[in-house]
Amino acid sequence: MSARYASIGVVGAGAWGTALANACARAGREVMLWGRDRDLIAAMARTRSNPAHLPGVVLADDVRPTADLAALAGMDAILLVVPAQASRAVAAELAPHLAAGTPVVTCAKGIERGTSLFMTQVLGEACPQAVPAILSGPSFAADVAAGLPTAVTLAARDPGMAEALATALGSSSFRLYHSADVRGVEIGGAAKNVLAIAAGIVGGRKLGASAGAALIARGFAELMRFGKAYGARAETLTGLSGLGDLILTCSTAQSRNYALGLSLGQDEGLHPPGKLAEGALTASVLVAMAQARGVDMPIARAVEAVLAGRSDIEQAIGSLLARPQKAEA
């Protein structure tokens, strides 16, 4: 069945796109890797590396970089690996080159601002002839590129398609579990980034490991409430793409979202500059969507208030600690 997906087009030559291109090559796929920056793509083809986004990683022989989206026409499946807020524009540019029924797997973690749409819903609008799917889970690009063991979830509404794609892209070091709970997978990836900023703030303020663990557990309670309100399955939220990714991203400054929170917690502002921290872009839309369905998300709300400049760190921490004591569940 995996022969159906012998060729994979990866759209987006940042850290994650480059790592996924290598992972697909490792799984025996023929891979084309598209990036919008012609100079960068030419340099990647020449040097077989992407030092700007993924230093120290050699591009696998079976990965062909291209700056021409039309070159991806005829690929058996596409991985869309650009930031969440750029996904609509890039998917629309890609759409004319896709045959009807081509799976397009979004690998971005976020919710579209302005429309409050999840990533596969954005794909459905921008690329209506494609079949949307999602890949998400605890996986730093550097780890995947280095061939360290990782496990993620690939979800598509059609379970057979999810299984076939997972079989085609997986290898012994890059394990893909399959699922039909598309909504659950996209909610976990979007929400955990916002909560990771809070975890970074706790780290930056040196509130202690106990506070860090409490933050993860109470953050997960928020993620569960939001997920249930928006139709996710509980087993998905407690799986790799929910709890798994929340633990990873809340645990280390290797995460850009955690690193941003760390910097805020140390009163150093929004650092490091120029690094993509999806949680900073998702926070306001996540909080608005929670409010719209009456979901209580005090930690996400505190992060949003800090990012919007309506609250300083001390006020945000104070407001969380001043909440009335209540039953845990």
Ligand X SMILES: NC(=O)C1=CN([C@@H]2O[C@H](COP(=O)(O)OP(=O)(O)OC[C@H]3O[C@@H](n4cnc5c(N)ncnc54)[C@H](O)[C@@H]3O)[C@@H](O)[C@H]2O)C=CC1
The Cα–Cα gap between 191 and 111 comes to 9
Please work out, in degrees rounded to the nearest 5, the angle formed at the alpha carbon of residue 192 by the alpha carbons of 188 and 193: 125
- Smallest distance from the beta carbon of 304 to ligand X, in angstroms? 18
Q: Of ligand 13P, ligand X, none, which one sits near residue 267, judging by CB under 5 to 8 A according to partner kind?
A: none
| Residue 298 sits in the site that holds ligand X (CB under 6 A) | no
Binding test (CB under 6 A) with ligand 13P, winner from 76, 112, 181, 245: 245
Whole-angstrom Cα Rg for the chain: 19
Q: Contact 33/10 with Cβ under 8 angstroms?
A: yes
Given ligand X, ligand 13P, none, residue 107, with its beta carbon under 5 to 8 Å by kind, binds: ligand X
Binding partner at 90 among ligand X, ligand 13P, none, C-beta below 5 to 8 Å by kind: ligand X
Q: Is 36 within any annotated ligand binding site?
A: yes
Q: What are phi and psi of 108, to 5 degrees?
A: -85, 155
| Residue with the two structure tokens 């998702």 | 282
Instruction: Tell me whether residue 275 is one of the annotated catalytic residues.
Output: no
User: Which residues in 195-234 contact ligand 13P (CB under 6 A)?
Assistant: 196
Q: How far is CA 195 from CA 183, 184, 224, 247, 255, in A?
A: 18, 16, 12, 10, 12
* Residue 255 marked in a binding site: yes
**x/- letters, 230..269, toward ligand X (CB under 6 A):** ----------------------------------------
141 marked ligand binding residue = yes
CA-to-CA distance for 138 and 287, rounded, in angstroms? 23
Residue 98 is a binding residue for ligand X (CB under 6 A): no
What is the footprint of ligand 13P within residues 146-205 (CB under 6 A)?
193, 196
174, two tokens: 């890059």
- How far lies 115's CA from each of 88, 112, 286, in Å? 11, 6, 11
Least CB distance from residue 42 to ligand 13P, whole Å?
A: 27
2 is in an annotated binding site: no
Beta bridge mates, 177:
153
Q: Which of 120, 249, 284, 311 contacts ligand 13P by CB under 6 A?
A: 249
275 is in an annotated binding site: no
The contacts of residue 140 (CB under 8 Å, 6+ apart) are 248, 254, 255
> Segment near ligand X (CB under 6 A), from 22-30, 76-84, 172-180, 316-324?
76-84
**Residue 83 binding partner per list ligand X, ligand 13P, none, with a CB distance cut-off of 5 to 8 Å that depends on partner kind:** ligand X
Annotated active-site residue in 192, 206, 228, 326: 192
**3-class DSSP state of 281:** helix
User: Look-up: residue for tokens 């996986």?
Assistant: 139
Choosing from 102, 120, 236, 257, the residue that interacts with ligand 13P (CB under 6 A) is 257
Note the maximum CA span of the chain.
60
Number of residues that bind ligand 13P (CB under 6 A): 13
The separation between the first and the last C-alpha atoms of the chain, rounded to the nearest angstrom, is: 44
**Among residues 53, 97, 192, 205, which is the contact residue for ligand X, using CB under 6 A?**
53
CA atoms lying within 13 Å on the CB side of residue 152: 30
Q: Select from 5, 118, 140, 174 the one that contacts ligand X (CB under 6 A).
A: 140
How many other C-beta atoms can be found within 10 angstroms of the C-beta atom of residue 309?
Answer: 7
**Partners of residue 156 on adjacent β-strands:** 133
> Minimum CB separation from ligand 13P for residue 278, in Å?
6
Which partner from the list ligand X, ligand 13P, none does 138 bind, CB cut-off 5 to 8 Å by kind?
A: ligand 13P
Specify the 3-state DSSP secondary structure of 205.
coil
Cite the active site residues. Answer: 192
Contact residues toward ligand X (CB under 6 A) are 12-17, 35-37, 53, 81-84, 86, 89-90, 107-110, 139-141, 276, 278
Contact residues toward ligand 13P (CB under 6 A) are 109, 138-140, 193, 196, 245, 248-249, 255-257, 278
